């Protein structure tokens, strides 16, 4: 993981994962491909692969980690609402991406998502 140090003159940087301001001198992660800074809290909380995955999802679909209240969200309810909406998901991969994306928008990390999903299949 490549890290760089920023100084106080760059006080408008926002974390690409949680959108918190990066205002003090701190190590930040920056993807070689995406050029989006990630704060120290997110670096400590998520794996490099999860950071890259979330940055890609936020670039493709917008939003940020924890954008919405997690107290009303569950995978099961999301699936029920999806079924009731009549929206057709084309394949398993598209459904998985949709579920993961909704989970991280509600502050559920990719690792927590996998653990919650495992409850349905194990």
Site size for Zn ion, by CB under 5 A? 5
Q: Provide DSSP, the chain.
A: --EEE--GGGTT-B-TTT--B--SS-EEEE-TTT--EE-HHHHHHS-HHHHHHHHHHHHHH---TT-S-STT--HHHHHHHHHHHTPPP-SHHHHHHHHHHHHHHTT--HHHHHHHHHHHH-
The least CB distance from residue 91 to Zn ion, in Å, is 31
**Among residues 17, 22, 36, 108, the one that binds Zn ion under rule CB under 5 A:** 17
Per CB under 5 A, 28 contacts Zn ion: no
Per CB under 5 A, 39 contacts Zn ion: yes
The least CB distance from residue 46 to Zn ion, in Å, is 9
């Amino acid at each position: 993981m490549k890290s760089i140090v920023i100084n106080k003159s760059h006080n408008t940087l926002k974390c690409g994962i949680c959108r918190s301001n990066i205002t003090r001198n701190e190590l930040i992660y920056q993807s070689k491909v995406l050029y989006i800074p990630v704060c120290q809290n997110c670096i400590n909380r998520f794996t490099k692969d999860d950071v890259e995955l979330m940055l890609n999802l936020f670039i493709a679909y917008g939003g940020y980690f924890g954008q919405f209240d997690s107290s009303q969200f569950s995978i099961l309810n999301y699936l029920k609402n999806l079924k009731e909406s009549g929206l057709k998901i084309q394949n398993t991969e598209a459904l998985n991406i949709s579920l993961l994306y909704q989970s991280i928008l509600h502050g559920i990390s990719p690792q927590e998502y996998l653990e919650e999903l495992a409850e349905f299949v194990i």
